[in-house]
Amino acid sequence: MAQSTKSGSSSLDNQAAPAKAKSARKGRPVSLIYVPLFLGGSHRGASMGPAAMRVAELPERIKNFGFQVAEEIDIDVPHSVCWWDTQSHGKCIPEISQVSEAVADAVESALEAGNLPITIGGDHSLAIGSIAGAASYWRKRNEQFGLMWFDAHADINTPDTSFSGNVHGMPLAVSLGKGDPKLVELRGFSPKIPAKRAVLIGIRDLDAPERDMINQTGITPFSMREVDHLGLGRVTDLALASVGPDVSGLHVSFDIDVIDPDVAPGVSTASRGGLSYRESHLALELLAESDLVRSIDIVELNPAFDVRNRTAELAVELILSALGKRIL
C-alpha cells in the first residue's frame, strides 16, 4: 500500500543546521508522506498535488533548511470512478477507508520513529487517516494532543447532512466520531480527538448543517470575521489557549483553500476572502514557536487550477514556516 524511500543521509548534522531550525524542532527528522488522493471530491487534479510539491523541490528545500528527510513514502490510491455513485450519501467510502488505513500506519510509524510526519495531498479526506495515526500514537502514551484545522470550509458534514456526498467535506466530523462507521472506527476507537481540543481557523463557506454541527460539538471556531476583527496573531494565540495547556503536541491540518484564491489559485474549491500571504505564514510561524507541532497535513493543492506552480511553491514555503523558518 505504501512505498518508502529512506534518505541517503545517515543523520542530521546538528552543527550545520540553522540555529532557529534546531530551536523550533530540536532537529526532529521529517517523514514526507505523499497521498495523491482525489476520491473525496470530484476534482481529479488534486491527485497531482504531491507531484507539484516535488517539482517545487519540497524535500530539497527542507534539507537546505537544516532538517533530515528521513523517508519519503508514496501511498497507493485506488483508481476508481466511485464519484459517480449518485445513490450514495458518502461516495467512495470503501476506497477512502483503504487509503486512510495506509496513511494512519505511515503517520503513526513516523511518530514512533521520532520523526515529524508531513502528509501531502491530495484532498482533505486524507486527514481521516493522518489524524487517526496521530491519535493512536498519543493514545498509547496516555497523552493529549490538539488539532489546528485551517480551512475555508468546516469539513464537518456527515453522510446524513452532506448535500454532495463528497467525503472531503467530512474528515473533521469523522475525527470527532461522527459519520460512517467504516471511517469513524478506524484504528478501533472513536473519537480520535475530543471537540474541546480542536480548533477551526479561517472558515467562511459553510453549509447550514455544518453551523449546527459546530455548535453541537463544542469545537472552537474562528471564522474570517474573527480573523478580520482580532488579527491572525491574536486568533492563533487564542487557538493555542483553547486546546489547553496540557497537550503534548499539535496536529496541523492546513487546507490551502483557507488562503485567498488571489494568492493561492491552485485549489479545488476556492472561496474569496481568505487569509493573505503573510497571515498564512504568521499563523504557522507562531505555531512553530509554540514548539508543539508534531504532525502536519498540507492538502487540496490542485495543479490543474494553478498558475506556473505558484500555489505549490507557496505550500512549500508554508511547510518551512511550520518547521520554524523566520524572517530573522
Whether 251 is catalytic is no
CA-based end-to-end distance of the chain = 42
Whether 153 is catalytic is yes
Predicted pLDDT at 7: 46
All domains in the chain, ordered by first residue: 2-322 (3.40.800.10)
Whether 155 is catalytic is yes
Q: Which amino acid is at 209?
A: P
Predicted pLDDT at 28: 83
- Which residues lie below 8 Å from residue 2, measured CB to CB, with a gap of 6+? 33, 73, 74, 75, 76, 102, 105, 106
Whether 229 is catalytic is no
Q: Residue 75's beta-bridge partner residues? A: 2
Active-site hit among 124, 180, 210, 260? 124
Helix/strand/coil (H, E, C) string of the chain?
CEEEEECCCCCCCCCCCCHHHHHHHCCCCEEEEEECCCCCCCCHHHHHHHHHHHHCCHHHHHHHCCCCEEEEEEECCCCCCHHHCCCCCCCCHHHHHHHHHHHHHHHHHHHHCCCEEEEEECCHHHHHHHHHHHHHHHHHCCCCEEEEEECCCCCCCCCCCCCCCCHHHCHHHHHCCCCCHHHHCHHHCCCCCCHHHEEEEEECCCCHHHHHHHHHHCCEEEEHHHHHHHCHHHHHHHHHHHHCCCCCEEEEEEEHHHECCCCCCCECCCCCCCECHHHHHHHHHHHHHCCCEEEEEEECECHHHCCCCHHHHHHHHHHHHHCCCCCC
Predicted pLDDT at 83: 63
Whether 300 is catalytic is yes
Predicted pLDDT at 19: 36
Active-site hit among 108, 260, 300, 313? 300
Pairing mode, if any, of strands 2-6 and 69-75? antiparallel
Whether 255 is catalytic is yes
Whether 151 is catalytic is yes
Q: How far apart are CA 129 and CA 174, in angstroms?
A: 10
Active-site hit among 43, 153, 251, 281? 153
Predicted pLDDT at 97: 97
How confident is the prediction along the chain (328 residues), in pLDDT tens digits per residue?
565 554 433 332 333 333 333 434 446 899 999 999 999 987 889 999 999 999 999 999 999 999 999 999 999 999 876 766 666 678 899 999 999 999 999 999 999 999 999 999 999 999 999 999 999 999 999 999 999 999 999 999 999 999 888 999 999 999 999 999 999 999 999 999 999 999 999 999 998 999 999 999 999 999 999 999 999 999 999 999 999 999 999 999 999 999 999 999 999 999 999 999 999 999 999 999 999 999 999 999 999 999 999 999 999 999 999 999 988 7
Active-site hit among 95, 123, 210, 257? 257
Pairing mode, if any, of strands 293-299 and 249-255? parallel
Count of CA atoms in the C-beta half-sphere (13 A) of 323? 32
